[in-house]
Chain A
């Protein structure tokens, strides 16, 4: 089933809070670069992708990483990927 923007946002937020427990996600603009804003290094980002992929049940390739740059783009990516698997 296609994931709604709200579902996607809460899923993404959950994974980020595992990595950055005190992250201020409510004050985060939808187009802010997640890696830069939250100071995620490449290992943090890999963990984020790993958790997101598992939780959302979608495959995420390295080529998809640019689609995970911001909250907004994550929402679009998850909507498209979950719609594709219907």
Chain B
């Protein structure tokens, strides 16, 4: 028997909150299978198991915040007998929510609300803990009327909250609300016994609220996370900065030509070409692609380019475009769209959040021409991309108007020198002059 523990999903993570379990005791799981959804302050992330076997007991209830390394569940090797409590027959069967973002307009049938009562064990579930009873009393919830969804039908904090004020929401409507940024608490359900359905969410998304909903909680913790990470970066990392101007004429013209034959959905934006060039340059110059750990540089196992994405409501995440140097440009473009979409709906995977080996921040769309970023520790470099601007530019002794972009590199001077950073930017420039090879 072994423990499945709260993983560290990034250098800055000390603890995480279990949002929901995706497995139940007795489930057979393969290495890499998603086990639970964890909220890390930055995003909700699926965490996977590194061990195949059978899920024993779930030790942490949804809603509980625990430190990194805390056992979350016991895992039995295949064939190993459960040591403690026998697997309950009455564990709440919840349909495994798929995390693939659904097509937003798909008219998916709304699954009927699962009648949990019918599935709860005949045997009495464990008595709620004193803190939970206190919590329920505070909210005026009668525990006898609450159906437990935890291990062995245990009533969780979330069940109490749900009973207190959460509207009943169909799973599809919940996903849709997340994607559209609709606050479910403000939606009036029109389904059976006030259940919020997908149509209600869409209606709410279309009806512009007089006052935009302001979430006071999320940004604060996001700010705190960013503050801690950036302070650490500036405290520990001696940054150096280099920058150059890249003539984007060739790549922009090439994209315009090739995009003519593409459907809108397949079109490639210059930002994707820049990311592709960064990824290829990082593969050629591995000394900028990796981590500074305990006084030495540890190269990344592959090129996973972190992409800084502003998530609406003011948060910032930098998940990885994994194996970016292996992604042909059209594939990278789709991967980028998918990544941004999932970042904004809060559905990133553990690997995407945990292992960028080099980060890119592209503030071009926000109008600035140049950005010198702060390195995300323990990474050793950060590439800044500015706005694509048309400017006079000398080519072969003649002055013309060209689309230009300012590229910068912030480097960790412990790991590399400005000379390396300069060569890195020159490599990106060179790659962009031959877009057909991207």
- A binding-site residues for B, Cβ under 8 Å: 14, 17-18, 20-26, 35-36, 39-43, 46-47, 49-50, 53-54, 60-63
Contact = CB atoms under 8 A, between A and B. Distances in A.
Contacts of A46: 264, 267, 269, 337
Contacts of A54: 264
B366 interface: yes
Contacts of B180: 18, 21
A21 B182 contact: yes
Interface stretch (B14-22, B87-95, B203-211): B203-211
A43 B340 contact: yes
Contacts of A22: 181, 208-209, 212-213
Interface string B392-407: 0000000000000000
Given A17-B206, A24-B208, A60 B336 contact: no
A42 B269 contact: yes
A86 B269 CA distance: 31
Interface in B201-238: 205-206, 208-209, 212-213
A53 B270 contact: no
Contacts of A17: 205-206, 208
Contacts of A62: 256, 259-260, 267
Contacts of B181: 21-22
A50 B341 CA distance: 15
Interface residues of B, number: 26
B337 A43 contact: yes
Contacts of B340: 43
Contacts of A14: 206
B336 A61 contact: no
A43 B367 contact: no
A53 B104 contact: no
B124 interface: no
Nearest to B259: A62
9 contacts: A14-B206, A21-B181, A22-B212, A40-B365, A41-B366, A42-B270, A43-B336, A46-B269, A62-B267
A42 B264 contact: no
Given A18-B104, A42-B269, A61-B260, 19 more contacts: A14-B206, A17-B205, A17-B208, A21-B180, A21-B182, A23-B208, A24-B208, A26-B208, A35-B365, A36-B367, A39-B365, A39-B366, A41-B365, A43-B269, A43-B337, A46-B269, A62-B259, A62-B267, A63-B256
Contacts of B298: none
Contacts of B269: 42-43, 46
Contact of A42 (B182, B209, B271): B271
A23 B104 CA distance: 18
A42 to B, nearest CB: 4
B356 to A, nearest CB: 18
B265 interface: yes
Nearest to B363: A41
Nearest to B180: A21
Interface in B315-374: 336-337, 340, 365-367
Interface in B236-273: 256, 259-260, 264-265, 267, 269-271
Given A41-B365, A42-B270, A62-B256, A21 B265 contact: no
